[in-house]
């Protein structure tokens, strides 16, 4: 789960990290009025969406008067903001974050994430912070330092010193960096975060470190431990189908292809998508109904898949271990009838009660294309979609 920048800043502030004072508003009038409580005459107006690259899309503007602030907030609010991470449709701006201007001497980059290679939490640091950090990573990776934290020994002063050295910070700035490293790590661990990104982390002209921007994501499977984080969820920033899927305990991610996939088990779902691509098709989604799905959950999964107008065919690939194949078959039949499915439907079942499941599908009177195995299913799904195009 991701949160907005202003929410991330509140969490950073609560843990003692240095952030510039700011205020959030949902109207241009509110933004201008609330800015009066901030110090100085220069402000930064920042569109609040769950995507990076806002500056490149015109979503971050420096203003020098309240009139300019009002005009920029009015320009952003209620409009789609298109950035390199939103896609061509952009994301609708529902709030703006107004922040006191900060006098910047240097821009740095600092983040924490889960390093999948080492299986540890890792710091990533670079002296080249700012809007082009992706280009730095691609073209000059030697400018980026990665430092893992051993879970057995935990964080120590060593980590702060290494990060400070990587960022070329000395003296009091190095001490500030060490404190910030500890703060970010504590926040990351205590809140089960998956990402904390400070870009840029700035050195001000007064030799102070300030988290000028912040992005945070949290592990979905740990949210039950953090009701305070759940309250920060903004479903307007999520795909409506993914929001609906979460209500039924379905793992769903929309993709750009034409073949809808309903599978049980994340590994099998990945394999299904891979083999669809192998035979020249494109998966329209990742959808894992789980190991103990009910008939009702399968029906809802079908509805969600078919709600995507790009879906031109559906492939159901179920290995019934805990889940019984006859239960899946009943859900498929109910969903196909309820949704009046009009695209090719390929079904591969294997496992517990498989013969009963296949019998139910045969006797349903529906135009279901049976498959013997995953290879056969993928071939038939791709062929059916191409034939119908």
| Annotated binding-site members for substrate | 264, 321-323
Positions at the binding site for ATP:
46, 53-55, 102, 107
What is the C-alpha to C-alpha distance for residues 261 and 224, in angstroms, rounded to an integer? Answer: 28
Positions at the binding site for Mg(2+):
199, 213
Is 5 considered catalytic here?
A: no
> What counts of helices (H) and strands (E) characterise the chain?
13, 19
What is the C-alpha to C-alpha distance for residues 86 and 80, in angstroms, rounded to an integer? Answer: 10
What is the C-alpha to C-alpha distance for residues 359 and 361, in angstroms, rounded to an integer? Answer: 5
8-state DSSP, 45: E
Pull the structure tokens for residue 335. 């969903």
With DSSP H G I counted as helix, E B as strand and the rest as coil, what are the percentages for the chain, rounded to 5? 40, 25, 35
| Residue closest to 318 by CA, chosen among 268, 259, 255, 376 | 268
Positions at the binding site:
46, 53-55, 102, 107, 199, 213, 264, 321-323
Question: Of 6, 109, 185, 252, which is the active-site residue?
Answer: 109
Is 97 considered catalytic here?
A: no
Place of tokens 């080249």: 128
Cα→Cα distances 331→135, 167, 176, 261, 361, Å: 47, 56, 58, 15, 10
Question: Of 5, 72, 197, 300, which is the active-site residue?
Answer: 197
8-state DSSP, 167: T
DSSP string over 282-332: -B-EEEE--TT--HHHHHHHHHHHHTSTT--EEEEEEEESSS-HHHHHHHH
What is the C-alpha to C-alpha distance for residues 319 and 371, in angstroms, rounded to an integer? Answer: 13
| Residue closest to 377 by CA, chosen among 325, 301, 318 | 318
- Residue 270, classed as helix, strand or coil, is helix
Active site residue ranges: 109, 197
């Amino acid at each position: 789960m991701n949160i907005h920048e202003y929410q991330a800043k509140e969490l950073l502030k609560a843990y003692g990290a240095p952030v510039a004072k700011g205020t959030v508003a949902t109207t241009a009038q509110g933004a201008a009025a609330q800015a009066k409580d901030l110090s100085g005459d220069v402000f930064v107006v920042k569109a609040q969406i769950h995507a990076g690259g806002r500056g490149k899309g015109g979503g971050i503007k420096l203003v020098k008067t309240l009139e300019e602030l009002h005009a920029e907030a009015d320009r952003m609010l209620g409009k789609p903001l298109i950035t390199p991470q939103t896609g061509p449709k952009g994301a609708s701006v529902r709030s703006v974050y107004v922040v006191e201007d900060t006098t910047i001497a240097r821009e740095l980059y600092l983040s924490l994430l889960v390093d999948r290679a080492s299986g540890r939490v890792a710091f990533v640091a670079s002296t080249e912070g700012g809007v082009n950090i992706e280009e730095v990573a691609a073209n000059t990776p030697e400018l980026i330092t990665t430092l893992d934290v051993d879970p057995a020994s935990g964080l120590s002063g060593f980590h702060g010193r290494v990060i400070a050295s990587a960022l070329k910070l000395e003296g009091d700035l190095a001490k500030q960096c060490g404190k910030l490293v500890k703060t970010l790590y504590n926040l990351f661990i205590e809140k089960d975060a998956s990402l904390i990104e400070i870009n840029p982390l700035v050195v001000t002209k007064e030799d102070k470190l300030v988290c000028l921007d912040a992005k945070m994501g949290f592990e979905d499977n740990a949210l039950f431990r953090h009701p305070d984080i759940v309250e920060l969820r903004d479903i307007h920033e999520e795909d409506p189908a993914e929001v609906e899927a979460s209500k039924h305990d379905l793992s769903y991610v929309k993709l750009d292809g034409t073949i809808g996939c309903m599978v049980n088990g994340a590994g099998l779902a990945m394999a299904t998508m891979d083999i669809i691509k192998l035979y020249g098709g494109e998966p329209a989604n990742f959808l894992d109904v789980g190991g103990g799905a009910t008939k009702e959950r399968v029906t809802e999964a079908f509805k969600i898949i078919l709600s995507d107008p790009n879906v031109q065919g559906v492939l159901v690939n179920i290995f019934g271990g805990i889940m019984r194949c006859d239960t899946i078959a009943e859900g498929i039949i109910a969903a196909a009838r309820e949704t009046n499915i009009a695209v090719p439907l390929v079904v591969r079942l294997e496992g517990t009660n498989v013969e009963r499941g296949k019998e139910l599908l045969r006797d349903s009177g529906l135009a279901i294309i049976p498959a013997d195995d995953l290879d056969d299913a993928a071939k038939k799904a791709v062929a059916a979609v191409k034939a119908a195009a």
